[in-house]
Each structure stands twice: as C-alpha cells, then as structure tokens.
Chains A and B, each alone.
Chain A
Amino acid sequence: MTMSNTHILVVDDDADTRQILSDFLEMYGYQTTSAASAHEASSALNTEKIDLLITDIQLPDGSGMDVVKLGKSLQPQLKVIICSGFEQTPAEILNEETLWMTKPLQIDTLFTRIEALTCNHLTN
C-alpha cells in the first residue's frame, strides 16, 4: 500500500487552514477531502472511504467529537487526529487510534503521527 492510497478527511471551519493542510498532505502524496462543518464531514464519512480523520473540535454546527464518534461508527477502522487550540484532552475518547495535537501544528510531528497511525492500519 502506498501513501497515495491513504485518504484523509480534513475538517476545520477556517478555510485557510483547510487549504494549507490539504496542500501539504497532497504534496506528500496523500489523497484529501476537506469539510468546513460537522455537516459536511458527516456527508463525506457517509459517502467516501476515509482512512484518517483530522478534525478541529469547534465547528460552526457542532463538535468535532461528534464527528469522531460518527466516523468510528460508520468506518470502524478509522484513525483520528484531533487538532485543537485547547489543551484539554478528553481521555475517554483518546487511544492508540485517536490522537490529540494542540495547535499550532508542527508539520514534522503531524506527519510522524500520520505515518504511525496509517502503518498500524496496514499491520492490523
């Protein structure tokens, strides 16, 4: 499996963040879909096969946490990186398949985490 097969859904209400993050991910060969709201994220999760979800917590129409729960229920193999400007880590949702990163994102760290998550995915 090559990286290009890994499909990442980027959810953030800030258009600039979505754009840059998608550009970055695509530059490294990932396939991306982006969503500006919980609603848009849920339609992507309902219609497309997503390997990794990168989501903000505060969305205009809901919480990123709900997007994570929906994603896991629709696609149980889904890996998640939550990116938030808040420090809080709701322990109940975090595990080896769901990570928390605090903004601003260090891109090297982000890619290391993405690789680790998607490699685990391959071995499973």
Chain B
Amino acid sequence: MQADKKTKLLIVDDLEENLTALEAIIRGPDREVLKASSGVEALELLLLHTFALAIIDVEMPEMDGFHLAELMRGTEKTRHIPIVFVTAAGNELNYAFKGYEAGAVDFLHKPLDMNAVRSKTSIFIELFQHRLAIEQQLAALEKSRKEQAILLSELQSTQLELEHSLKMRDEFMSMVAHEMRTPLNTLFLEVQLRQTQLKKNNLEAFSPDQLDKMLQRSDRQLRSIIRLIEDMLDVSRIKNGKLSIKPVATNLSELVARVVADLTPCAKESGAVILAQTEPVVSGVWDAFRIEQIITNLLTNAIRYGRGKPIQVRVTATAQEASVEVEDQGLGIAPEDQARIFDPFERAANTHVKCGLGLGLYISRQLAEAHHGVLQLNSRKEQGSTFTLKIPLHVATNTHTP
C-alpha cells in the first residue's frame, strides 16, 4: 500500500514515552501514526494532513487536550475528525462532562488497556474509510452528473446538426429530382411525340433530317443526365478523398479549341460568341478528361451568366505552368459571394439562373488542386468575371485529398 493511501492517525501527548507506547499499540501496515508533543504541534500537523482519528492526552502544559479539541472544532478542515481523549483514571466524570461539551467522541483511561485502544482505533479507522468511500461515491456521482450534462448538450447539438443535414438532404433530393426531370421531360415528350406520329402514320416526321434532329436532341438530354450523375459521383469521390487523376501528354490549346467548338452552338443560342486566343501548342502532362471538364464548366457558366455578350478564352504558358482564362461580361460576382461560389451547392446570389446542382465550380477547383494548380476568380459587379486556371506543366499521379 502506498504511503499516501495509508490511514493517518494523530497522537498528542507531552510525554515522549507515552507517544512511543501509544504508537506501538496502534501502529499497523495500513496506518501512518503522526506524533505531536504539544497542542501547537498538533495544530500544525492537522493543517497539513487528513486524519482518521486524533488521540489526545487531556493533561498537557500550555494548551490542554480540551482546548486543542475546541480549536479543532472551530476549523472546517478539522471539525469532523473524531477525538479520543486519554485521561488519568478517577477524573472521568469531570473530564467527561467537559470533553462532551468540546465535542469529544470517546475516552480512554490510563493505564491504557491495549486491546481497548486497538479495537477503538480500528473502529474509527473503519468509520473513516466508510466516510471516504461515501465521499468518493458522491464525487463520482457528481462527475457523472456533469458528464451527463455535457453529453446532453452534445446530443442536442448533434440533433440540430442532424436536422440540418436532413433538411440539406431533402433540398438536395428536390434539386436532383428537378435536374433529372428537365432532360427526362424532353426525352419523354420526344418519345410520346414519335409514338403519336407513328400512330397517325406521319412518316414525314421520320425523314433522315427529322431523325437527325431527334437524335441530337436525345443525345443532349442524355448527356445532361449523365453529367448530373457524374457530378454527384465526383462530389462523393472528393469527400472520400478518392478523386484521382491520370496524367498523359496533352496539348492544352487543342483541347481548349475542341471544347470551344463543342460549345459554340450553345453559346450562339444565348446570343454569345466565344473568342479564343490560344498559343498554338501548350504541352503538358495532365488528365485531359478532367481538364476538359474544368474548361467545359467555366465556359458553360460564362454562356449561362454572360448576358449574351462575347466570351474571351485565352491559353498561355510560362516555363513552369499553363494558364487558361475564361472571361465573360455578365453581371459579375459580388465580393461577399466570391469565396462561397466554390462551395458545393452554391451559386451567386444575384442570379435567377438556377441550372444544375451548383457543383461545377466546386468540382473544378478540386480538379485544379488535384493537378497541384489553382482556379482563381477575378470579378467586379456589372463588369463580368474572369476565371483563371493555372496548372504546372507536369503533374505527378496522385490521389487528391481535400
């Protein structure tokens, strides 16, 4: 048993031989006996230690046992320490009376009966240990009550988070449903139109020219559904740190020219032209498919938000990095929205356009970062926006962890 775990007993007597004799009677392996030869010495020890019992000689010079007991009862730390007074035989009655007034618990009489001393001491030690155990239980109870309160508040905040997540999920589902229904609507109408034309035996509607238009329409709608699903999967890949890129030798100028050509009909429909200024060859090692995804996203946004005004695309390179700038002349993005639009499911506040899930810029920036590059925005209200993609010419294969 460790020293600080031992039960401490205080014995007070002005005679050294009495202290030694008493100590010999009550000592034990689980106890530590501290000796004081005066009331003052006893008070000093009482301040430093926690005692299970004080055995105090009544007759001492200067401060007698009862006086010491009174002082002990007057102090919070020592008020509850049981006291056993040691008195000379024959004085019991007087002393007993005075002793009880001072809050004495028990008396021992000289000459000391060894068995009586031992058994009394053992009883007080047992009482003390019971009290300690109860105090520990109380402390444990209080601790668990506090833990419960913390747990409860954590539970409440988790509940709020959960409610928020559920709300987000519902909004997300509603947005996904909307985004799926739009192309599905066109496809479904197309099928119903063709069925009706067949029923009416209207074969003109199936001329090669008409069929070509029909296929182009269906192709566009199917692609938009596929893109929607790919975007959702990309977000899931980013969140799980599983967005990987597969770099191969790529001519960025060629890639950008192809995307511009693909999107030109779409731009024309909104009244815009795409003006591309590209250095003939900007070569590097990138994941061509992912870079195409970024450029397509930036150009689609420029067409969507560019108010039908010309869109500029520039491809340049330094010895270290390539850069693609996409500049529109749309409404511009307010400074307070500029960071937010790169978050998933966000778009600038000043727009009525709510096409798509609002995942494009989020995915694009993550793809740029997977190439150890950056996607930056420079925009002023009413003056349009310029998105700049900068990527090092060579990028090691890696798995991007957000």
Which of B185, B197, B353 has the largest count of A CB atoms less than 10 A from its CB?
Answer: B185
With A58-B354, A62-B352, A86-B178 already in contact, the answer to whether A27 and B185 are too (CB < 8 A) is: no
Q: Which of A17, A27, A84 contacts B196, CB < 8 Å?
A: A27
Contact A16 B220 (CB under 8 A): yes
Q: How far is the CB of A29 from chain B (nearest CB, A)?
A: 13
Q: Quick one: which of B158-194 are within 8 Å of A by CB? A: 174, 177-182, 184-190, 192-193
Q: Which of A20, A62, A85 contacts B182, CB < 8 Å?
A: A85
Contact B174 A87 (CB under 8 A): yes
A62 vs B182: C-alpha distance in the bound complex, in angstroms? 17
Provide the residues of chain B in CB contact with A17, threshold 8 Å: 182, 185-186, 189
| A15 at the B interface (CB under 8 A) | yes
Q: How far is the CB of A119 from chain B (nearest CB, A)?
A: 21
Q: Which of B177, B182, B188 contacts A14, CB < 8 Å?
A: B182
Contact A107 B181 (CB under 8 A): no
Contact A63 B185 (CB under 8 A): no
| B113 at the A interface (CB under 8 A) | no
Contact A19 B196 (CB under 8 A): no
Q: Quick one: which of A40-67 are within 8 Å of B by CB? A: 58-63
Chain A contact-residue range equals 20 to 34
Q: Quick one: which of A78-108 are within 8 Å of B by CB? A: 83-87, 102-107
Nearest B residue to A24 by beta-carbon distance? B193
Q: How far is the CB of A61 from chain B (nearest CB, A)?
A: 6
What string of 1s and 0s marks CB contacts (under 8 Å) between B344-362 and chain A? 0000000011110000000
Q: How far is the CB of A56 from chain B (nearest CB, A)?
A: 8
Contact B186 A20 (CB under 8 A): yes
- Judged by DSSP, the binding face of A is mixed
| A115 at the B interface (CB under 8 A) | no
Contact B354 A16 (CB under 8 A): no
A39 vs B181: C-alpha distance in the bound complex, in angstroms? 24
What string of 1s and 0s marks CB contacts (under 8 Å) between B187-209 and chain A? 11110110011001000000000
Contact B185 A105 (CB under 8 A): yes
Q: How far is the CB of B301 from chain A (nearest CB, A)?
A: 13
Provide the residues of chain B in CB contact with A14, threshold 8 Å: 182, 186
Contact A21 B189 (CB under 8 A): yes
Contact A16 B181 (CB under 8 A): no
A59 vs B196: C-alpha distance in the bound complex, in angstroms? 29
Q: Which of A19, A20, A58 contacts B355, CB < 8 Å?
A: A58
Q: How far is the CB of B300 from chain A (nearest CB, A)?
A: 13
| B400 at the A interface (CB under 8 A) | no
Q: Which of A19, A60, A102, A106 contacts B181, CB < 8 Å?
A: A102
Q: Which of B174, B178, B217, B353 contacts A60, CB < 8 Å?
A: B353
Contact B196 A105 (CB under 8 A): no
Contact A61 B352 (CB under 8 A): yes
A-B contacts, 22 listed (Cβ < 8 Å): A16-B217, A16-B221, A20-B193, A21-B189, A24-B196, A27-B196, A27-B200, A58-B352, A58-B354, A60-B270, A63-B352, A83-B185, A85-B177, A85-B179, A85-B181, A86-B177, A86-B178, A87-B174, A103-B181, A104-B189, A106-B192, A107-B189
**Besides A24-B193, A83-B185, 12 other A-B contacts (C-beta < 8 A):** A17-B185, A24-B192, A27-B197, A60-B353, A84-B178, A85-B178, A85-B181, A102-B181, A104-B188, A105-B188, A107-B192, A107-B196
Residues of B within 8 A of A (CB): 174, 177-182, 184-190, 192-193, 196-197, 200, 217, 220-221, 269-270, 304, 352-355
